[in-house]
């Protein structure tokens, strides 16, 4: 089970949105997709076949496919989830006690079963029977059944390498906390089940907040990748031995797991993504069932290297190998999952002095040689993966390798702040040292070409020129689609007459990831300007694009869409709502729906959605804040105050809550009470420039301009390109008669807003030094 602390959040900001809606992602595992993932001939898809095909027992498959079954039987897929037995349980249940940050655990056996004694959901010590093992190596977790059909993963796991119990919790947690093993972030039904079992149906009932989850196979079996097999079995029974079995044969399976079809099939689980339908069948287009995670801060470093758990796919999309048509099974045996060769041999099968014809663009070299890697044979640095697939550790003990297969660029690391493979091993050195070594080995001009990471780093920082650079990257078809989509999405913060054309062009990009990102950027455009741009994508061939078109058109009155377009619009809206309800057990889904209905102007549905989120998770602060904002918009100020004060009592260290309560006190006329709260929010979240800006404005309003200026100057050390802070500082400087300081600030603002005529005039008025 992945680390539940990796749930993301973001804010949707529209040009004329009255309320700011905090939107939290509902998926832990996210990823992107390339156009190729959906370019699979309909004849090879099981979409039509799946209506008449059912899942069969894997033992039926084994009768004809014995070799494949044997390879699979010891794979991670085979051991993904199993009933507890002598053969499947790897942890020490010999009456062993373990103390962890989240409490006391005792593991023991009784009457042939496996048990754990620890704190339950009510905070009382109880005994729970292990229902299933979860995973195989390098760690194994254990699932316990609770009420309402829930299975929960214990946060204490077994390290299969060092033979010890350890706690995945990063800090002490108590029952009632979402991060306690009994909480929603360790729930198997939603967080883990669809990737550890075959034909998973969560069967969640919102009314009772309960599950009747089913699967066809407890683990990841044959049909998890090949689709339901009954039609294939019927064909096999009717076809003589040696009969036709090839592409296009109607056998009810994904018979050609190649190129985008294979990669999209693997990406269902080996990716960071959000599921947007309640059930997926292997081989169906990836982006019809999932929305991608792009190269976002917190998930990836600016140059695309892995930061958080992203599960391979988003990394691989960046690679030249993906661009050249390499697929998963070029390196991995498809049934065991193991590498096709040991050590460097898996790489030198292609990267050698005699590359295969299929990859004739590979430069012939003796890659597995000190003449190439400049390290002693068999030592760290001599293995291809050391430099081209550096690893990071997740879940305490689980090393994962970056699948972008990048060439080490210490010069790029120095510019972007991303890790460098060289200093990852030589930790006592700096990137400049590594760059010098590479120049010494390969020549001073080795790999100095521009990289999209430089542009994404600029975009994250807000530095001058970022918008223009992002616009150029967005339309550069020579760059990976996932990088271009990320650039388009980031352009939402840089929309102007220079960058806007790139967003518009991206709406017609052949890659659906880029089209969806361009739609999201339109949330920075006035609603009436969105219609002509977004409406043509309401019937895009890819579902994830259609639902984004519906979402971005939320503020547009439905009657705008006339005739045949009204049906297209409503169908996309229905798909969007269904995409959120695909995770109806999650409060974030109802938060998203609340934001959507509020933008649609339907306060009743918005309020109902927020209250549903709070019914599912009474501690869910974002829903309290959004519901409070909605109540304020409706004129229910007393209810607004009740909600915000409740949120503050629940999480006094939550900067968003403290800031919102401070603004409430301002509106109530209690400015002296507001000021400490606004200051506290700045202290709790120094990374939020907006909080510092609001605090400075509040100080000014109370007649303390000097303190306001000091707040801005301090905040600008962390946010040197924030326009609001700079504009406020300029006003402070002008009011104080500080012409020299004002000149510098005007220059900084002009670098960010070079087309601003008012700033240009002010610069002329201030004159030269």
How does pLDDT run across 382-405, given as a tens digit for each residue? 999 999 999 999 999 999 999 999
Does residue 152 fall inside a structural domain? yes
Q: Which of 151, 186, 211 is the last residue of a domain?
A: 211
Judge whether 751 lies within some domain.
yes
Report cis status (omega within 30 of 0) of the bond before 232.
no
Q: Is the pLDDT of residue 283 over 70?
A: yes
Looking at residue 217, what DSSP letter applies? Answer: B
CB count within 10 Å of CB 567 equals 12
Which pLDDT score is estimated for 52?
63
Lowest mean pLDDT among 18-27, 199-208, 598-607: 18-27
Class of residue 430 by CB neighbours under 10 A (exposed 0-12, middle 13-18, buried 19+): middle
| pLDDT for 23 beyond 60 | no
The single residue listed with the structure tokens 């509106």 is 667
Q: Residue 484's Cα: distance from chain center in Å?
A: 16
Please say if the pLDDT value at position 660 is more than 60.
Answer: yes
Q: How confident is the model at residue 7 (pLDDT cuts 50, 70, 90)?
A: very low
pLDDT of residue 242: 58
127, pLDDT greater than 50: yes
Q: What percent of the chain has pLDDT over 70?
A: 91
Q: What average pLDDT does this structure show over 708-727?
A: 95
Residue 452 CA to residue 470 CA, distance in Å, equals 9
Judge whether residue 590 has pLDDT over 70.
Answer: yes
Ordered DSSP codes for 678-731: HHHHHHH-TT-HHHHHHHHHHHHHTT-HHHHHHHHHHHHHH-TT-HHHHHHHHH
Mind listing the pLDDT tens digit for each residue in 452-474? 999 999 999 999 999 999 999 99
Domain presence at residue 615 = no
Q: What is the CATH number of the domain that holds 750?
A: 1.25.40.10
Dist CA 31 CA 265 (whole Å): 13
Domain boundary among 175, 196, 211: 211
Note whether 308 and 299 are within 8 A (CB): yes
The least confident of 33-42, 350-359, 543-552 is: 33-42
Contacts of 701 (CB under 8 A, 6+ apart): 671
Count of domains forming the chain = 2
Cα separation of the two ends of the chain: 62
Q: Which domain holds residue 704?
A: 652-769
Measured CA angle at 644 (ends 640, 648), to 5 deg: 170
On whether residue 88 sits in a domain, the answer given is: yes
In angstroms, the CA 304 to CA 255 distance is 33
Question: How many Å apart are CA 184 and CA 180, to the nearest integer?
Answer: 8
In a domain, 716, yes or no: yes
Mean pLDDT of the region 307-320: 96
Confidence band, pLDDT 50/70/90 cuts, at residue 40:
very low
Grade residue 32 by pLDDT with cuts at 50, 70 and 90: very low
Asked whether residue 245 is assigned to any structural domain, the reply reads no
Structure confidence at residue 50 as a pLDDT band (50, 70, 90): very low
Rounded Cα distance between 647 and 622, Å, is 9
pLDDT digits (tens, 9 = 90+) for 510-522: 999 999 999 999 9
Does a structural domain hold residue 730? yes
When mean pLDDT is compared across 348-362, 506-520, 599-613, the lowest value belongs to 348-362
Query: Where residue 8 falls among pLDDT bands split at 50, 70, 90?
Result: very low
Q: So what's the pLDDT on residue 1? A: 62
Answer with the one of 190, 211, 232 that is the final residue of a domain: 211
276 in a domain, yes or no? no
Distance of CA 6 to the CA centre of its chain: 8
pLDDT in tens, 623-657: 999 999 999 999 999 999 999 999 999 999 999 99
More confident residue, 25 or 251: 251
């Amino acid at each position: 089970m992945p680390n539940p602390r990796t749930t993301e959040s973001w804010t949707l900001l529209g040009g004329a949105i009255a309320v700011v809606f905090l939107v939290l992602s509902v998926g832990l595992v996210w990823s992107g997709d390339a156009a190729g993932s959906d370019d699979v001939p309909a004849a090879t898809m099981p979409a039509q076949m799946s209506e008449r095909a059912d899942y069969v027992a894997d033992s039926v498959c084994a009768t004809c496919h014995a070799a494949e079954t044997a390879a699979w039987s010891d794979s991670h897929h085979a051991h993904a989830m199993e009933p507890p037995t002598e053969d499947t349980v790897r942890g020490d249940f010999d009456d062993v006690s373990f103390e962890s940050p989240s409490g006391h655990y005792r593991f023991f056996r009784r009457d042939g079963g496996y048990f754990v004694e620890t704190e339950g959901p009510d905070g009382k010590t109880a005994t729970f029977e292990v229902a299933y093992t979860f995973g195989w190596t390098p760690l194994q977790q254990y699932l316990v059944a609770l009420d309402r059909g829930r299975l929960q993963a214990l946060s204490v796991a077994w390290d299969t390498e060092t033979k010890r119990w350890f706690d995945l919790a990063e800090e002490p947690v108590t029952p009632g906390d979402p991060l306690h093993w009994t909480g929603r972030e360790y729930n198997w039904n939603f967080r883990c089940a669809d990737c550890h079992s075959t034909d998973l149906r969560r069967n969640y009932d919102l009314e009772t907040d309960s599950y009747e989850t089913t699967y066809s196979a407890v683990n990841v079996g044959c049909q998890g990748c090949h689709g339901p097999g009954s039609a294939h079995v019927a064909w096999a029974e009717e076809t003589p031995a040696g009969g036709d079995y090839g592409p296009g044969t109607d056998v009810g399976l994904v018979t050609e797991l190649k190129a985008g079809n294979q990669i999209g099939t693997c990406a269902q689980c080996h990716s960071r993504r959000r599921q947007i339908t309640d059930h997926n069948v292997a081989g169906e287009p990836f982006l019809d069932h999932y929305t991608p995670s792009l190269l976002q801060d917190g998930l990836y470093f600016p140059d695309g290297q892995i930061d958080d758990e992203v599960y391979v796919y988003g990394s691989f999309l960046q690679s030249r190998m993906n661009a050249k048509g390499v697929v998963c099974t070029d390196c991995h045996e498809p049934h065991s999952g193991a590498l096709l060769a040991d050590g460097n041999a898996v790489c030198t099968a292609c990267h050698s002095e005699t590359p295969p014809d299929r990859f004739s663009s590979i430069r012939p070299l003796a890659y597995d040689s000190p003449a190439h890697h400049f390290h002693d044979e068999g030592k760290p640095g001599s293995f291809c993966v050391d430099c081209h697939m550096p690893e990071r550790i997740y879940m305490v003990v689980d090393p994962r390798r970056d699948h972008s297969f990048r060439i080490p660029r210490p010069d790029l690391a120095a510019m972007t702040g991303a890790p460098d493979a060289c200093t990852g091993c030589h930790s006592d050195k700096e990137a400049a040292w590594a760059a010098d070594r590479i120049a010494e080995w390969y020549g001073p001009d080795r790999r100095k070409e521009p990289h999209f990471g430089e542009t994404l780093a600029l975009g994250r920082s807000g530095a001058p020129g970022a918008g223009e650079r992002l616009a150029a990257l967005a339309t550069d078809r020579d760059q990976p689609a996932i990088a271009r989509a990320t650039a388009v999405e980031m352009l939402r913060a840089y929309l102007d007459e220079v960058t806007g054309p790139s967003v518009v062009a991206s709406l017609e990009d052949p890659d659906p990831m880029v089209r969806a990102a361009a739609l999201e950027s339109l949330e920075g455009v006035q609603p009436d300007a969105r219609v002509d741009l977004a409406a043509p994508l309401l019937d895009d061939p890819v579902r994830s694009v259609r639902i984004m078109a519906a979402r971005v058109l939320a503020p547009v009155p439905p009657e705008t869409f006339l005739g045949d377009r009204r049906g297209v619009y409503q169908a996309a809206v229905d798909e969007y709502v269904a995409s959120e309800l695909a995770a109806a057990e999650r409060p974030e889904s109802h938060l998203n729906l609340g934001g959507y209905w509020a933008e649609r102007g339907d306060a009743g549905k918005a309020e109902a959605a927020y209250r549903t989120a709070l019914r599912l998770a009474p501690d869910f602060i974002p829903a309290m804040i959004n519901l409070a904002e909605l109540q304020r918009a409706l004129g229910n100020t007393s209810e607004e105050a009740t909600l915000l004060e409740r949120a503050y009592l629940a999480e006094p260290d939550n900067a968003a809550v403290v800031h919102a309560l401070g603004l409430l006190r301002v509106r109530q006329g209690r400015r002296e009470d507001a000021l400490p709260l606004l200051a506290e929010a700045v202290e709790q979240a120094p990374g939020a420039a907006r909080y510092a800006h609001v605090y400075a404005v509040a100080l000014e309003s109370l007649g303390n301009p000097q303190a306001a200026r000091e707040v801005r100057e301090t905040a600008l050390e962390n946010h040197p390109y924030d326009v609001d802070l700079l504009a406020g500082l300029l006003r402070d400087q002008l009011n104080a008669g500080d012409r020299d300081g004002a000149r510098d600030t005007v220059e900084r603002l002009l670098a960010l807003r070079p087309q601003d005529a008012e700033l240009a005039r002010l610069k002329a008025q201030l004159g030269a030094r």
